[in-house]
Amino acid sequence: MTQTMKIVSVAAVLVVLAVIVPHSSSFVVLLTTRAMCFAILAMSVDLLLGFTGLSSMGQAAYFGVGAYLTAILAAKFHFGLGWDFWLVVLMGMAIGAALAALFGLFAIRASGVYFLMITLALGQCVWGLAYRWNSLTGGDNGINVTNRPNFGLDLTNERTFFFLVFAFFAASLILLYILVRSPFGRSLEGIRERELRMQILGYNTWLHKYIAFIIAGAFGGLAGVLWAHTNGLISPETVVLTTSVDSLLMVVLGGAGTLVGAAIGSGIVFALREYLSTLVPWWQYALGGVYVLTILYLPTGLMGFPARLRQIRGASTKNPSKSGDAKKLASAPS
């Protein structure tokens, strides 16, 4: 499939989503909204995991500060409930980026499993703060956000709110796509493949990774702002380790390094965890099974499914056409 075709098909899916979902039951609308918030978070993880090769276990921290900022401003100061909501969006992204800039100083110097451990520890610091700083965060009870913003558009309406989150989701997808296709994104991929070679080529790989980390933090913060209004309750449960792990698993499930895969992963996890769980008691087995099967048979995630299919088909044909591969290689962008 060519790049244009891919873009067109993703755009088509987005349009279908925007047309169909608002006409389904309000619970489905709510679930899709929730899944899209997490899709933004998962895409920010994908920027690190799939494109830079950094497996961050602390993405919930940026998500959390964005969410807590929104919740505290809304619940305590009634700020961000009108036009100033857009200000809160910017502030949420800024605080996510700022925290990532701080944490990045500690985390970026490490790589591999050490990077994972450091981000995990830093993420837990934020959880600890949320749990302990009672006067600000409400401790274990968390903060209830009862009012959604109303700026001409009344976002209390689940369907209107769906479109807002949808817009943010689509915009994030486009922005991140442009980013990873840019020379900067290409050099990130270079770092993922072989950092030493990039260094020899004269790239400041630390700075590249640091900037990617900050950008991921900003998108994490954005997801948090939206989540505060989607969920209506922000508690330490929001920033708990499970949130980080979930977002990482979503990326792995959908396919790292594809962005769209992160969104698909998020959709599947939410469908199983929050929809299937209302139907059957064994939903956890289904979720576990999906994870195991994906890792075993689709190590590149669900987005790797077409390629895998081609591979199987190619293997079953006795005479795999070498010329086809050569042609593909030649046409691939260098």
Partner 1 sequence: MTSRLPRKLNPLLLGSALALGLSLASNAQAEELRIGFIAPVTGIFAQIGKDMTDGFQLYLDQHGGKLGGADVKFIVEDDQGKPDTGVIKAKKLILQDKVNMFIGGLLASTGYALAPVSTAEKTLYISSISSADDLTQRQLDKYPYFARTSWTSSQPEQPLGQWACDQGYKKVVTIAADYAFGYESVGGFQKVFEDCGGKVIQKIWPPLGTKDFGPYIPNIKADADAIFSLMVGPMALQFPKQLRAAGIKKPITAGGTSYDEFVLPFMGDEVIGDVSALHYSAAIETPANEAFVKAYRTKYGKVPSYYSENNYTTAMWLDEAMKQAGGKYPGPEKFIKIMEGIKLDAPRGPVRMDDMRNPIENVYIKKVEKKKMFGYDKAELWNTVIKTYPAVSQFWTYGKEKFLKQPVYSRDFPACKYCE
User: Which stretches of the chain bind partner 1, using CB under 8 A?
Assistant: 25-27, 30, 34, 134, 139-142, 144, 146, 231-233, 235, 237-238, 274, 277-278, 281, 284
Q: Which residues contact 18 (CB under 8 A, 6 or more apart)?
A: 163, 166
C-alpha span between 67 and 89 (Å, rounded): 10
- For residue 303, what are the contacts with CB-CB under 8 A and spacing of at least 6? 254, 255, 258, 260, 261, 264
Closest to partner 1 by CB, 146 or 199? 146
Vertex 30 angle, CA 25 and 36, to 5°: 125
Residue with tokens 């499914």: 305
Nearer to partner 1 (CB atom), residue 277 or residue 300: 277
In angstroms, give the least distance from the CB of 333 to partner 1.
43
Q: Closer to partner 1 at the Cβ: 67 or 100?
A: 67
Minimum CB distance to partner 1, residue 147 (Å): 9
Nearer to partner 1, 141 or 199 (CB): 141
- Shortest approach of partner 1 to residue 164 CB, angstroms? 18
| Vertex 231 angle, CA 144 and 28, to 5° | 145
Asked if residue 55 lies in contact with residue 213, where contact means CB atoms within 8 angstroms, the answer is no
What is the rounded distance in angstroms from the CA atom of residue 25 to the CA atom of residue 20?
10
The least CB distance from residue 139 to partner 1, in Å, is 7
Nearer to partner 1 (CB atom), residue 205 or residue 231: 231
d(CA 296, CA 310): 17
Nearest approach in angstroms of CB 131 to partner 1 is 8
Whose Cβ is closer to partner 1: residue 34's or residue 208's? 34
125-142-42 Cα angle (round to 5): 60
The nearest distance, CB 31 to partner 1, in angstroms, is 8
Q: What's the CA gap between 134 and 140, in Å, rounded?
A: 8
